[in-house]
Chains A and B, each alone.
Chain A
Amino acid sequence: GAGVSQSPRYKVAKRGQDVALRCDPISGHVSLFWYQQALGQGPEFLTYFQNEAQLDKSGLPSDRFFAERPEGSVSTLKIQRTQQEDSAVYLCASSWIGGVGQPQHFGDGTRLSIL
């Protein structure tokens, strides 16, 4: 596709439910990133893949958060036993190749609301 595609665009879940957020990066982009953005804040880094390898997951807030990219393309961010503090916009970004200096291209984000 022309850009990074994320789905669903909006997700409402009850506290305690599991959710899965999908990211389809720009075709051919090697690097894929997940961010969490709370209202009025800048995006906070969650995790990073280069192809299928998860190189950095230091930003995942707890072991309830899990991300995968099994074939080096589409990625899924899963949140188990959701809590109200998980409510945020989850942004996915991709870049063409690993290495310093590559700007990232963002999807529209998934707005997650936990009731």
Chain B
Amino acid sequence: RKEVEQDPGPFNVPEGATVAFNCTYSNSASQSFFWYRQDCRKEPKLLMSVYSSGNEDGRFTAQLNRASQYISLLIRDSKLSDSATYLCVVNWGRDDKIIFGKGTRLHILP
């Protein structure tokens, strides 16, 4: 099993729709989880951290399922500006080292 695995997509979604991605991780000792967004030819930028109880930031909701070792990202009322690659990020064990997934590409269609 790969360390951090994501569906590469692309997800082609009409504007206004709801879209969800999952990401699985193999290290049960992982303790922190993030979603990053990366636009074409730009650096990754933190979208949101993922907390055990789940958390929401505007149209974005993140969930963590430790038992099944996956995290999810839900985007409601999608906007054209949401088009990007979404990177799942998991810390590796008990230190700062983090592992990135390969990313899920999202295209919001007008």
Chain A 74-110 interface 0/1 with B at a Cβ cutoff of 8 Å (1 = within): 0000000000000000010001001111111111110
| B32 on the A face (CB < 8 A) | yes
What size tier do the contact residues of chain B reach? 20 to 34
Contacts of B94 in A (CB 8 A): 100
Contacts of A50 in B (CB 8 A): 96
**What total count of A-B pairs have CB within 8 Å?**
58
Complex contact A91–B96 (CB within 8 A): no
Binding site for A on B (CB under 8 A): 4, 31-32, 34, 42-46, 49, 87, 91, 94-103
Complex contact A108–B98 (CB within 8 A): no
Complex contact A43–B100 (CB within 8 A): yes
Chain A 44-80 interface 0/1 with B at a Cβ cutoff of 8 Å (1 = within): 1100101000011000000000000000000000000
